[in-house]
Amino acid sequence: MLGLGIESTAHTFSCAIIEKKGNRGKILSDVKKIYRPIDGEGIHPREASRHHIDNSPAVLSECLKEANVAIKDLDIISYAAGPGLGPCLRVGAVVARSLSSFYNIPIYPVNHAIGHIELGKLLTGASNPLVLLVSGGHTMLLAFLNKQWRVFGETLDITLGQLLDQFGRSLGFASPCGKNIEKLASASSNYVALPYSVKGNDVSFSGLLSATKSIAKKSKNDACYSLQETAFAMISETVERALSFTGKKELMIVGGVAANKRLSEMLEDVCKRHNSKFFVVPLRYSGDCGSQICWTGLLESQVKGGAKLKDTFVTQSWRLDSVKVDY
């Protein structure tokens, strides 16, 4: 079974083709173009959507060519229906609807966050993990129960990805800023005390952001190092508590911030203390990509037919814990 997945929730426009045989999937192609704002600025939804419009034909063509597949060979088309930025979501939805209606191929709206999790399980082999989803749009601890993902902790204000991006922009970098901050942090070992805010099993990063901006005037390297150490320690505390509470023996980290090596080091130490296996999604697929949408669509096609065009939608706020998972 062949599927095409289209991702366009934020700065990335991506198309991917996956071949599904039984419970296994093989990524035949995954092509992406990323909107890059000017230094010091964040993503602008209108400009990002124009980037997606301009690049969508080339990305789709390259994706098909790399997979050596024709559109008429596809069994399903899936697209990211949310959560995300409205103008960006609409671009992917329009591309998917156009292909679906013209070639009469079933279409599936997919939750972007669940896509991160399902692709992570496919690529890592994790079976029943506690999931840490950390990206520009999410900071959540999740476990699966009774056909739904349940939240065991989340951010009360900004996400971990937003923390890194907003601080990075204050230093003059363009979003996404995670790699830049990680590089500066690796050049220091001087920790400066910063606000540490864990409430129950939720975290709050807004005060940490403000405090780090104030110390960055003295040393950018020390500020980046201290920011990472504090934020990741907060995350590690909530993960450790969730592992104890749920009794899970697997931890899987997905989302764009999963690419950070220091975060993985700290979480790996947590897993060792709890005798749990640690899984991290491969670097190439940690960020937004068409594969996460394609694979989730293929899973959904096992248990239901495609949506009617009039029922295809996009929604900027679509929590993954509101989605019933029947496959």
- Provide the pLDDT for residue 40: 83
- Provide the pLDDT for residue 248: 97
Same fold, 2-116+288-322 and 127-285: yes
Burial of 181: CB neighbours in 10 Å, binned 0-12, 13-18, 19+: buried
Structure tokens of 5? 């997945």
- Provide the pLDDT for residue 63: 98
- Provide the pLDDT for residue 92: 98
As beta bridge partners, residue 134 has: 139
Model confidence, pTM: 0.95
- The class that CATH gives domain 127-285 is alpha beta
In this predicted model, what pLDDT tens digit does every residue of 158-213 receive, in sequence order? 999 999 999 999 999 988 899 999 999 999 999 999 999 999 999 999 999 999 99
- Provide the pLDDT for residue 252: 98
Phi, psi of 221, deg, nearest 5: -65, -45
Fold that domain 2-116+288-322 belongs to in CATH: Nucleotidyltransferase; domain 5 (3.30.420)
- Provide the pLDDT for residue 147: 96
Query: Could you tell me the residue ranges of all domains in the chain?
Result: 2-116+288-322, 127-285
Q: DSSP secondary-structure letter at 274?
A: T
- Provide the pLDDT for residue 322: 97
Q: Which residues of the chain have pLDDT under 70?
A: none
Query: Can you point out the beta strands (E) in the chain?
Result: 2-7, 12-21, 24-34, 76-82, 107-111, 130-134, 139-145, 148-154, 198-199, 202-203, 250-254, 277-280
